[in-house]
Amino acid sequence: MSKDFSIIIPCYNEGDRLKPFLVDLIHQMKDFKFFGEIILVDDGSAKKDKEIYAQVIEDINSPNIKLIHLNSNQGKGSAVRHGFELAEGRWIGFVDADGATNAKEVFRLLFLALQSSHLSGVFASRILMFGYHVHRSTLRHLTGRIFVTLVDKILHIPVYDSQCGCKFFKRNDIMFFLPVCQEKGFLFDLEIIAFGYYRGLKFLEVPVDWTDIKGSKVNVVIDSIKMFLGLWRIKKRIKIKTR
User: 47-91 pLDDT, tens per residue?
Assistant: 999 999 999 999 999 899 999 999 999 999 999 999 999 999 999
In sequence order, the 6+-apart residues with CB closer than 8 A to the CB of 60 are 22, 23, 26
Residue 209's Cα: distance from chain center in Å?
Answer: 16
Decide if pLDDT at 141 tops 80. no
- Tens-digit pLDDT profile for residues 156-171: 998 988 889 999 999 9
Spatial CB neighbours of 239, under 8 Å, sequence gap ≥ 6: none
Identity of the amino acid at 98: D
pTM of the predicted model as reported, rounded to 2 decimal places: 0.91
Distance (Å, whole) CA 76 – CA 184: 6
Least confident span in 16-20, 61-65, 99-103, 130-134: 130-134
User: Domains, the chain, ranges and CATH?
Assistant: 3-241 (3.90.550.10)
Q: What pLDDT score does 127 carry?
A: 82
Burial of 22-31, coded b for 16+ CB within 10 Å and e otherwise, reads beebbebbee
> 243 pLDDT exceeds 50?
no
| Alpha helix stretches (DSSP H) within 65-184 | 76-86, 103-115, 138-155, 171-174
Structural contact between residues 3 and 89, judged by C-beta atoms closer than 8 angstroms: yes
